[in-house]
């Protein structure tokens, strides 16, 4: 036991402290498994004095993460501060240039600057590992990049934001409105300081951009994602979906189509009895489909001290074992620019609308759908007390373009009381 691997950790929040705990408490296990003494040389965080519930004795302190990242007594720089730019990016760049490997949990930085960082890393012969950036404790980056390396990946799907899934689950189970469920999640500390990151689908979109790059050999393309959050999901839709044996999930889907790479992160209906439909609370799930493996489903905690630290330490152990591979699984210079294709593939859709209750109203809607070549799979009209009739329609597969045409035509009629809700249905 002579080999050693010296870490510098920037960011001592939940995840950083989780990593310190594992390094301190599992030293015997880690050295048995990696043949290496994994130690911490120095740490950095915003506030020095704070009691963090674990001893930092023996670690040097750096106020400046860039200084930390370039220390001579460091082999691996562990970036756990977060943020797309700023100190996170500056310190990671500094670490790579100084010849350090990098482990990070920073999905935003990788989704937006991943290509440039990967090129920089590979130019300097360094690795960037980021298992903790996607789906918390689930070793999904490893599964996709390594375990399934023999597959042409055909589709990647996932529920990857625990906060959104918690809110949607609470709306369904407790009958809460979106606002009530959001307030509850916020009170429990589940929501980011900028809530848009969670409920706007941005955080989940960052994760999808990373998975897409690996799966399809394309440059990470966060801007190419068709992105919609959960803020417009209503309790009426949750209930109506449940009534038709569906559940609404903030679902990410990436797949190649004839025209390019389709990446979507949006509220979708999934069958209530499917693995995705049964996913509750903060748990994450990723579905990977490949030409050989068919379908793999991975499920686990999407956040939290232990799970995220577990993912960081998996990366650290890989580096200790000498595993080295390009950041996105193949050299960054060989990644293609993604040609983004917006929802080209047809799908069934869920439509909810309120019709004026007068003779011929439903016939008008049915005619409009027919004119756009959309056929109806299931339709329900609910009992009602006033002059408005709630109507649900599940269509057969249709293109988004045909659907948009039909929705526009409905708006021209005098029977639709408000813009209809249209949500895609994904069968897994």
Is 304 among the residues that bind its own copies (CB under 8 A)?
yes
347-366 footprint of its own copies as x/- string (CB under 8 A): --------------------
Q: Which of 312, 365, 391, 393 binds its own copies (CB under 8 A)?
A: 312
Q: Is residue 428 a contact residue for its own copies (CB under 8 A)? A: no
Which one of 54, 66, 149, 376 is in contact with its own copies (CB under 8 A)?
A: 149
Site for its own copies in 320-339 (CB under 8 A): 321-325, 329-331, 334
- Smallest gap from Cβ 180 to its own copies, in A, equals 26
Least distance (Å) from its own copies to the CB of residue 311? Answer: 8
What's the rounded Cα separation, in Å, for the pair 257 and 270?
21
| Residue closer to its own copies, measured from CB, 131 or 198 | 131
The alpha carbon of residue 118 and the mean position of all alpha carbons in its chain are separated, in whole angstroms, by 20
Q: Which two tokens stand for residue 55?
A: 């001893």
CA angle 273, 277, 281 (to 5 degrees): 130
Cβ density class 209-232: b for 16+ within 10 Å, e for less: bbbbbbbbbbbbbbebbbbbbbbe
Span near its own copies by CB under 8 A; candidates 49-57, 170-178, 292-300, 364-372:
292-300
> Tokens 């630290």 — which residue?
309
In degrees, to the nearest 5, what angle opens at C-alpha 321 toward C-alphas 316 and 326?
70
Closest to its own copies by CB, 225 or 332: 332
Is there binding between residue 106 and its own copies (CB under 8 A)? no
Query: Does 230 participate in binding its own copies (rule CB under 8 A)?
Result: no
CB of residue 77 to its own copies, shortest distance in Å:
18
- Looking up tokens 């049915």 gives 366
Q: Which residues pair with 164 in a beta bridge?
A: none
Q: Restricting to residues 198-227, name those near its own copies by CB under 8 A.
A: 217
Instruction: Based on the residue annotation, tell me whether 339 is a catalytic residue of this protein.
Output: no
SS3 of 213-243: the string is HHHHCECCCHHHCEECCCCCCCHHHHHHHHH
Q: Is 193 exposed, middle or buried (0-12, 13-18, 19+ CB in 10 A)?
A: exposed
Contact between 22 and its own copies by CB under 8 A: the answer reads yes
Residue with tokens 């990470």: 220
Angstrom distance (rounded) from CA 66 to CA 88 = 9
One of 310, 354, 395, 398 touching its own copies (CB under 8 A): 310
* Total site size for its own copies, rule CB under 8 A: 59
89, 100, 107, 207: the catalytic one is 207
Q: Quote the CA–CA distance of 67 and 195 in Å, as a whole number.
A: 31
Q: Taking a C-beta distance cutoff of 8 angstroms, is the pair 220, 210 a contact?
A: yes
Cβ 300 to its own copies, closest distance in Å? 4
Residue placing its CB nearer to its own copies in the complex, 9 or 406: 9
Answer for the pair 57, 347: CB distance below 8 angstroms, yes or no: no
Active-site annotation, residues: 207
- What is the binding site for its own copies (CB under 8 A)? 18, 22, 26, 29-30, 32-35, 131, 137-139, 142-143, 146-152, 217, 273, 275, 278, 290-301, 304, 306-307, 309-314, 316-318, 321-325, 329-331, 334
């Amino acid at each position: 036991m002579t080999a050693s691997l010296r870490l510098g950790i920037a960011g001592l929040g939940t995840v950083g402290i989780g990593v310190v705990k594992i390094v301190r408490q599992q030293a015997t296990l880690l050295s048995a498994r990696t043949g290496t003494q994994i130690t911490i040389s120095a740490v950095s965080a915003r506030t020095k004095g704070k009691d963090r519930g674990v001893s930092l004795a023996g670690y040097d302190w750096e106020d400046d993460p860039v200084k930390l990242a370039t220390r001579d007594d460091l082999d691996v720089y562990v970036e756990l501060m977060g943020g797309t730019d700023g100190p996170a990016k500056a310190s990671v760049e500094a670490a790579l240039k100084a010849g350090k490997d990098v482990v990070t949990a920073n999905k935003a930085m990788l989704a937006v600057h991943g290509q440039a960082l990967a090129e920089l890393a590979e130019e300097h012969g360094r690795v960037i590992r980021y298992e903790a950036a996607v789906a918390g404790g689930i070793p999904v980056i490893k599964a996709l990049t390594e375990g399934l390396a023999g597959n042409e990946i055909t589709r990647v799907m996932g529920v990857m934001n625990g906060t959104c899934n918690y809110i949607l689950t609470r709306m369904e189970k407790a009958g809460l409105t979106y606002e009530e469920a959001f307030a509850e999640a916020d009170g429990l500390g589940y929501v980011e300081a900028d809530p848009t990151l969670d409920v706007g689908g941005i955080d989940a979109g960052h994760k999808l951009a990373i998975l897409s790059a690996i799966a399809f050999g394309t440059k990470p393309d966060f801007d190419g994602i068709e992105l919609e959050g959960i803020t417009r999901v209503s309790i009426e839709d949750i209930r109506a979906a449940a009534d038709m044996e569906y559940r609404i999930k903030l679902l990410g889907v990436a797949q190649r189509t004839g025209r390019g790479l389709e990446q979507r992160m949006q509220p979708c209906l999934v069958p209530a009895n499917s693995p995705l439909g049964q996913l509750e609370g903060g748990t994450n799930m990723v579905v990977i489909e490949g030409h050989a493996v068919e379908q793999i489903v991975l499920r686990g905690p999407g956040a939290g001290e232990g799970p995220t630290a577990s993912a960081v330490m998996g990366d650290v152990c890989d580096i200790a074992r000498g595993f080295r591979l390009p950041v996105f699984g193949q050299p960054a210079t060989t990644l293609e620019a993604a040609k983004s294709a917006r929802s080209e593939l047809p799908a069934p859709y869920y439509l909810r609308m309120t019709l004026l209750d007068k003779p011929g109203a439903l016939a008008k809607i049915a005619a409009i759908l027919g004119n756009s070549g959309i056929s109806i799979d299931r339709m329900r009209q609910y009992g009602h007390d006033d002059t408005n009739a709630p109507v649900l329609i599940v269509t057969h597969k249709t293109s988004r373009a045909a659907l948009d045409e039909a929705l526009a035509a409905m708006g021209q009629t005098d029977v639709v009381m408000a813009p209809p809700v249209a949500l895609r249905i994904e069968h897994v």
